[in-house]
Amino acid sequence: MDEEQRKILLESVSRFPRPQGVKLSYGTAGFRADASILSSTVFRVGILSALRSLKTQSVIGLMITASHNQVSDNGVKVADPSGGMLTQEWEPFADALANAVDAEDLIRLITDFAKKENISFGADQSAQVLLGRDTRPSGESLLHAAKQGVNSIVGSVAIDMGVLTTPQLHWMVRSRNKGMKVSELDYFEQLSNSFGCLIDLIPQETMLQLMDDKLIVDGANGVGAEKLEELKKLLKGLVIQIHNSGKEGGVLNDRVGADYVQKEKIVPCGFGPNVVGIRCASLDGDADRLVYFHLLSESSNKIDLVDGDKILSLFTLFIREQLSILNKNESENINYDQSVRLGVVQTAYANGASTDFLKQLGLEVAFTPTGVKYLHEKAADYDIGIYFEANGHGTILFSEHFLCWLEAKNSELASVSKGSEQQKAALRLLAVSKLINQAVGDALSGLLLVEAILRHMGMSIQKWSEIYQDLPSRQLKVKVADRTAVITTNAETVVVKPSGLQEVIDAETAKYARGRSFIRPSGTEDVIRVYAEASTQEAADELAKSVALHVDRFLGFGSS
């Protein structure tokens, strides 16, 4: 690092002093905390983003959001060149950078890391970082801190993309690095055009018995509502009513949004008895999660929840059907289903009934530890990889190899059997690959894909919900002195340490019909999380409680 770069950093760092007694850790969600203490951290993540751009010689993204957290919180995370999350290898550096005690410590860290990663500084180097923020009041001042961080690295440029959903920024990073246009209008047009293509390809017999066009969306009083208002102007054949847009005076994520609906299983604020039986969807605060629901009766606020597991199942049914059509009457000596791998990826928190349903379809189901970064990485192993968490975060990944094959197949079919069912299947899959956000889970693109598939299948939300019946489940927490005392393997489903704990969990689980239970240490607090399933709610509750008592006995603290 030359003297000019050192001087710029010393001057910049002094403007964003690190608050005393605060230690933050970079996880799947990036850094999150009360917005009042985040300026220093966001500034430093600006530096990290510029370094990442120099290292990869690619455009990097920096998003300011705290997703489904309360409005007084905020956060910051980095989008890698693929549009995915920051590589795990850089997370320790992110932690060290955020927690460096002073300017000299920070500069020493940067110098050592740049040397290790072979990153060059200087005016002959260039880096680009796209910045986005959600609608939180603290976003503007934190954006200023991010810009200062990026600009403190010589040759780096911060480009403010404005107020965005998190998935929009990830899409823009991925698209820019592919040499594509990346304006917000480009994003909206890609989604609306792909949706229109899928609607145009709905079989005629299904069109005659189409479901209700009306959809009511809970916007969580966040940025997703604002963007959906713009997107819906470009859509045909879909009537969207947006509640909790933020304009009615509601508070971001306060008794609204996908996280609230999924956990509480009741209607969000702003939904009255007049929505009984109507298809409803809920976005989270930054619009990267999506769940569906319908109100069961006018006299209750209880809902029938259609969560991420059932969104995954719906997408899988549709894609499997298109692959089956493509395989029909093939002239070439190739079995399509065997030559292209379709895989589904879940975590242990996926409801066991969903896993059974997918396996009964003959699908390959893989499991990863909890966290989108693990799911996304595993899904990329397949030609078509589908992943979703129960909370509604997920997407579909198509390999470049498969898309090239599909483009060629479509061209071949267009020349010999234009308009055939096989060609329509190819066109549908190509449209899905453009509609779904392959960078990250995206509630807006996911919502449009759900709507297109429901119409294609002539399926109501009630029929969709009934494709399988969720097993009753229960989650508990056990307070412990040190969560690192529990070590797990097999995608967090088997306890390795403390010795003997897994055996007693197995013994308790064996007492219940369709019993399943696992424990895992929290990533953020000193608690052990307990999950249990069984054939009845009473049994699931009992199993969770008994496992929690064993964890407490092994580790010495009370459960909560």
- Which positions are annotated as active-site residues? 67
380 is in an annotated binding site: no
Q: Is the dihedral of CA 404, 410, 413, 414 positive or negative?
A: negative
133 is in an annotated binding site: no
Q: Is 524 annotated as a binding residue?
A: yes
Look up tokens 């963007």; give the residue.
Answer: 227
520 annotated to bind ligand = yes
523 is in an annotated binding site: yes
246 annotated as a binding-site residue? no
H or E stretch at 225: helix 223-231
Taking residue 122's Cβ as centre, other Cβ atoms within 10 Å add up to: 12
- The three-class DSSP label of residue 348 is coil
Sheet holding 59-64, edge to edge: 31-34, 73-79, 59-64, 127-133, 156-163
Q: Is 391 marked as a binding-site residue?
A: yes
Q: Quick one: DSSP state of residue 274?
A: G
Closest CA to 26 of 95, 76, 81, 75: 95
288 is in an annotated binding site: yes
Q: Is 390 annotated as a binding residue?
A: yes
Q: Determine if residue 286 is labeled as part of a ligand binding site.
A: yes
Strands 31-34 and 394-398: unpaired
What is the distance between the alpha carbons of residues 336 and 323, in angstroms, rounded to a whole number? Answer: 7
Would you say 198 and 431 are in contact if contact means Cβ atoms under 8 Å apart? yes
What is the gyration radius of the CA atoms in the chain, in angstroms?
Answer: 24
**Residue 122 counted as an annotated binding residue:** no
Greatest alpha-carbon pair distance for the chain in Å reads 72
* Residue 67 marked ligand-binding: yes
Beta bridge partners of 157: 128
Cα 211 to Cα 251, 282, 457, 463: the distances in Å are 33, 20, 9, 11
Quote the CA–CA distance of 188 and 546 in Å, as a whole number: 50
Q: Compute the distance between CA of residue 453 and CA of residue 316 in angstroms, rounded to an integer.
A: 11
Q: Is 499 exposed, middle or buried (0-12, 13-18, 19+ CB in 10 A)?
A: exposed
DSSP 508-547: HHTTSTT-EEEEEE-SSSSEEEEEEE-SSHHHHHHHHHHH
Q: Binding site: which residues?
A: 67, 284, 286, 288, 389-391, 520-524, 529
Q: Binding site for Mg(2+): which residues?
A: 67, 284, 286, 288
